[in-house]
Amino acid sequence: GLLEFTSVSRGHEFDLVDFDRVLRQAVRNLDSHIKETKASVSWGGDLPVLRLDVSQMVSVFQNLMSNAIKYHTSGISPEVKILCSRENFGWKISVIDNGIGLNPSQLAKSFRVFQRFHSKDKYPGTGLGLAISQKIVHRHKGKIWLESAGEGMGAIANVWLPEC
């Protein structure tokens, strides 16, 4: 994880990519996790064509979807919806879940390296996923942030990326 974190700035060239390709690859990479948890992942509408490092952006959305699935309420199948809209000379892509949510005081801290709010026993992971995602999004001159109305209220992970 640390190697991936430190090597973000040495990614691939940016190419014009249909964002549907990014989402489809991220879902393929999570296929067994999606089936195991009986999660549903959906998106629709107009998706942008953006200039990006496709492998890094797949990594970002794979991480955001994985978190949305991982942090679900016991006994409730995870639901992940991805919405996309034009905003401020760019595109806002939101990963919305029905999971356990976050205390609003934790939102800003979520992007710190090794930051964890739950035990590794219940929710495994390194605590690097959001920090790596933030570094990738910043490499793309974008922004990333989380929203949640509170614990038990689900969460929204937002990524804003500039137009080509």
Q: What is the DSSP string of 44-67?
A: -S---EEEE-HHHHHHHHHHHHHH
Query: What integer pLDDT is reported at residue 36 of this predicted model?
Result: 94
Along the chain (164 residues), what's the average pLDDT of each consecutive run of 10 residues? 51 90 98 96 93 95 96 92 96 96 79 59 65 93 92 93 92
pLDDT at 74: 86
* Packing angle, helices 54-70 and 19-29, rounded to 10: 50
The per-residue pLDDT for 129 is 86
Looking at residue 123, its pLDDT comes to: 52
pLDDT at position 39 is 97
* pLDDT for the residue numbered 2: 44
